[in-house]
Structure 1
Amino acid sequence: MTRTSPSPTSHGLPPDAPGPHSRRLGLVSVIVTFGGLLFGYDTGVVNGALEPLTADLGLTAFTEGVVVSNLVFGAAFGAMIGGALSDRYGRRHNIIMLSLVFMLGTLGCVLSPNWQVLALFRFILGLAVGGASATVPVYLAELAPVERRGSIVTRNEVMIVSGQFAAFVINALIFNIWGETDGIWRLMLLVAVLPAIGLFIGMLRLPESPRWLVAQGRDDEALAVLSQVRTAERAQAEMAEVHRLAEEERAAKTAGAVDLGVRWVRLLILIGAGLGICQQFTGINSVMYYGTQLLGDAGFSGDSAIIANTLNGAFSVIGITVGLSVINKIKRRTMLLGGFALTTTFHLLVGLSAMLMPEGSAKAWFILVFVVLFVFSMQATIGPLVWLILSEMFPLKIRSMAIGISIFVLWMANALVALGFPPVVKAMGISNTFLGFAAFGVLALAFIGKCVPETKDRSLEELEDDFRARYS
């Protein structure tokens, strides 16, 4: 019986046949996405820790917002700094450094004697979160074979929401077992040091990105890395592809401030920034950061609120899993508009439930159900879609600059929501706050319908020609 050779793939490379290298790549993706897990845990852990933390450090509604939002302000700057350091010193080097910053920030938060010191170390922790958000997906994309790149890179998104879910569950367990212990919030925060240690130790054994090595002229090392995660034939053939991608990367960095003088470039960047604002002003992170407090205000007892809040984490994971399974089957704009229609509807239902229903357990459960459905709808549609559209909509020449600006605006919008949510809820109540989110959802629907391009199955050249014709 004769054995036929595998046929070349559509991208002209030998097929990525399974073997020991596949297991190696799987191990690499598990270790490096500890960065995403830390991202999720550190943004979600404050949710359950906030009540004992507030009592221990005497926080007001404003200082609660400062402590929570400082991590997100730090992340905005960490994303910019992390991307630059990653380009200069390498993806692996940057992730190792970030694991140390995760450890420093975590231990600083745990040992904080007052809210001012806690806010400082939350900012430091945010630098690591933002750096991880800019570096981990790039490392995965540059190490994965082209036909598996999408599934491997999106593992980081799954790990982020899994980290938030883990934070909610661990908080609930700790609070219900040792809830009366003074300073119990410190233990909740301390748990994050374990994956940080795992990330540090694991990254010491992982290779550098082959694309970064090629960009540094270190071809022999790049080939050695590819040989660890590909068949020998595929590794040799892929070196040409890595050279081409490295050239594209260099071309993508040729844009500068002068390009902002071009009208269609400015408008496209404004659309990207607007998408980031729309995503964050759904209020998703008000639920991820303050969900336990929100449910307590809705009528749940302290113990019940922290347990009920785990449903937000669970449906966040379920939502993104569903979203990733259909994201390539539906047009981007259609799915995005449908997502905002759903989230706006559930905002309206939360607001009306809080406004019209009498106080009691029925009101609390109605609000919980509508908040959970909002979280599911958000994570199944808007959450992953905005990141995907941002990665697709910008022409190569301005991509680095445009995505950098868009993500910075996204993080700053996130920080404003985190800072403003506690005092706004205190001043206006749950009902008016969520009705405000609903009103912003209507504006987001109008913005997307008017401005956001369809990017599915369209080349960068087609999109660029479209924008030049429309806005020049």
Structure 2
Amino acid sequence: MPPAAPDRTAPALPALTAGPHRRRLGLVALIATFGGLLFGYDTGVINGALRPMAAELGLNPFTEGVVTSSLIFAAAIGAMSCGRLADGWGRRTTIILLAVLFFAGTLLVVVAPGLGVLVLGRVMLGLAVGGASTVVPVFLAEMAPYEIRGSLAGRNELMIVVGQLAAFVVNAIIGNVWGHLDGVWRIMFAICALPAIALFFGMLRMPESPRWLMKQGREDEALAVLRTVRSEARAEAEMSDLVRLAAEELAQPRLGWRAIFANRNLVRILLIGAGVGIAQQLTGINSIMYFGQTVLVESGFDERAALIANIAPGVIAVIGAVIALAMMDRFDRRKTFITGLSLTTASHLLIGVASMALPVGNPLRPWVILALVVVFVGSMQTFLNVAVWVYLSEIFPLHMRGFGMGFAVFMLWITNGFLSLYFLSLVDAVGITGTFYLFAAVGVMALFFVVKFVPETRGRTLEELEEDVTTGSIYLR
């Protein structure tokens, strides 16, 4: 039987107010989301760097897949391990460690003399990318007032797509201006060192999550942090809520991972989080972000034109993320997921139809497929990507937030890794038509999953969500 819901008699929190504390909160979010920028650049740069890299190092299709997917599979490990690390060491300290990993991994890739060192560097970058994908959203969600938690935590996804767009633009410029030079791909990767340095020094001046501090029994520090990012009245009220929740948790047995798996409500939310992450990846979005140039070459563009055309999905991804942030605190998460999956599934079907109706050699074929890819990426970014990362950062109770987020993002990255490893083989085997029809079929199943199983989270504090998840009442709303 689930435990009874604790009695919540706390008054409503004071309304948010403008002032220096709001600007401070914005600065904290900006610095932390450099982790998202690095995430985006490091995953997007391979899109244009892979072909010159393969030519210089003598890579074959299999080793190209190894270079690409090594980052992704390492990211799965990073997501799981850094979630636990962030629970023990703190969100801020873990992000600082990730900045060091980003810089070291970039250095190894840039100087790599061959496949072994290159893959080692990519693995280090993957650990950092996976860690950032877990820890940064949690840090932002725990710093944010619940009224703007969606838009604040969602800024990380905006920075991810800004990073990917930056990678596409840098690739296009460098590839078209200096593409004839050996080692051009090394310059593409070297750019990543700059935001890694900014993240490291920036986070040294940022505060720790007040909710993590409270979990460690450091009440005075937690209140001091809240006072820097809230009005005085709001900080005191939120602190009272945190103290109350801490007292309730102390009155219950301490939950380790075994206890998590013994509570069916916690297992259920763990599986839902993983399912949401897997559904996001099975839309095939990162196949486009990693192999967009290859898809566009297959559709009829030449290599250099595809490198330039590939900027279009990056631009629409940023526009979609901006729109998503604007509506994140106004629309329910479930409705956003359902809308996004409906649009992306329709986009997949249309891409499949277009590739059948317009045979190879038809001058309209590349432009129609590019337009539909842009529609797909825009739909994905507006309704799914930002919402998924916000959702994962808020659904898990505090005592299992690092573990839960780490597990969900681990499953997301594993799915991403297998798609990255086999996407080109799939296109080679069944063509663009079959590939996107398959994505459409998976989209229908993902839509059913969301409608049937995914609960709503918008409009409640993290503490209220924690109680509802632990007791199972979240599934009754």
Pick the TM interval, shorter chain.
0.7 to 0.9
Question: When the two structures are superposed, what TM-score results if normalisation uses the length of structure 1?
Answer: 0.88
User: CA, structure 1 residues 245+309, in 2 after alignment: closer, same or farther (shift >3 Å)?
Assistant: farther
Of all paired residues, the percent bearing the same amino acid is 52
* Deviation (angstroms), 1:457: 6.0
1:130-180 CA-to-partner distances (Å, cap 9, x unmatched) read 111222222223333444433322211211111111111111111122111
Query: Do the aligned partners of 2:92 and 2:203 also contact (CA within 8 Å) in 1?
Result: yes
Query: Do the aligned partners of 2:165 and 2:315 also contact (CA within 8 Å) in 1?
Result: yes
User: CA, structure 1 residues 145+308, in 2 after alignment: closer, same or farther (shift >3 Å)?
Assistant: same
* Deviation (angstroms), 1:306: 0.9
1:285-324 CA-to-partner distances (Å, cap 9, x unmatched) read 0001111121112111122111111111111111222233
* Deviation (angstroms), 1:220: 3.8
For residues 389-468 of structure 1, what are the structure 2 equivalents within 5 Å? 389-391=391-393, 401-455=403-457, 460=465, 464-465=471-472
User: CA, structure 1 residues 309+148, in 2 after alignment: closer, same or farther (shift >3 Å)?
Assistant: same
* Alignment-derived partner of residue 308 in structure 1: 309
* Deviation (angstroms), 1:266: 4.5
* Alignment-derived partner of residue 90 in structure 2: 90
* Alignment-derived partner of residue 357 in structure 1: 358
Query: Do the aligned partners of 2:33 and 2:159 also contact (CA within 8 Å) in 1?
Result: yes
User: CA, structure 1 residues 277+16, in 2 after alignment: closer, same or farther (shift >3 Å)?
Assistant: closer
* Alignment-derived partner of residue 27 in structure 2: 27
One-letter amino acid matched to 2:386: P
User: CA, structure 1 residues 115+352, in 2 after alignment: closer, same or farther (shift >3 Å)?
Assistant: farther
* Deviation (angstroms), 1:278: 1.7
Question: When the two structures are superposed, what TM-score results if normalisation uses the length of structure 2?
Answer: 0.87
* Alignment-derived partner of residue 318 in structure 1: 319
* Alignment-derived partner of residue 385 in structure 2: 383
One-letter amino acid matched to 1:86: A
* Deviation (angstroms), 1:377: 0.9
CA distance in 1, matches of 2:122, 2:25: 33
Secondary structure of 2:112 counterpart: coil
* Deviation (angstroms), 1:108: 0.7
1:113 corresponds to 2:113 = yes
Q: Decide which moves more: 50-59 or 97-106.
A: 50-59
* Alignment-derived partner of residue 69 in structure 1: 69
Highest RCO, 1 vs 2 (Cα 8 Å, sep ≥ 6): 2
CA distance in 1, matches of 2:60, 2:439: 23
User: CA, structure 1 residues 333+425, in 2 after alignment: closer, same or farther (shift >3 Å)?
Assistant: same
* Alignment-derived partner of residue 208 in structure 1: 208
CA distance in 1, matches of 2:324, 2:297: 29
Q: Decide which moves more: 374-383 or 389-398.
A: 389-398
* Alignment-derived partner of residue 170 in structure 1: 170
CA distance in 2, matches of 1:164, 1:248: 43
CA distance in 2, matches of 1:154, 1:468: 24
User: CA, structure 1 residues 81+402, in 2 after alignment: closer, same or farther (shift >3 Å)?
Assistant: closer
User: CA, structure 1 residues 168+451, in 2 after alignment: closer, same or farther (shift >3 Å)?
Assistant: same
- Aligned residue pairs: how many? 461
User: CA, structure 1 residues 25+383, in 2 after alignment: closer, same or farther (shift >3 Å)?
Assistant: closer
Q: Decide which moves more: 43-52 or 423-432.
A: 423-432
When the two chains are superposed, the root-mean-square deviation of aligned CA atoms in Å is 3.0
CA distance in 2, matches of 1:467, 1:150: 18
* Alignment-derived partner of residue 5 in structure 1: none
Query: Do the aligned partners of 1:255 and 1:401 also contact (CA within 8 Å) in 2?
Result: no
CA distance in 2, matches of 1:176, 1:201: 33
Query: Do the aligned partners of 1:252 and 1:397 also contact (CA within 8 Å) in 2?
Result: no
For residues 156-305 of structure 1, what are the structure 2 equivalents within 5 Å? 156-232=156-232, 234-244=234-244, 254=255, 256-261=257-262, 266-305=267-306
Unaligned ranges ≥5, structure 1: 1-9
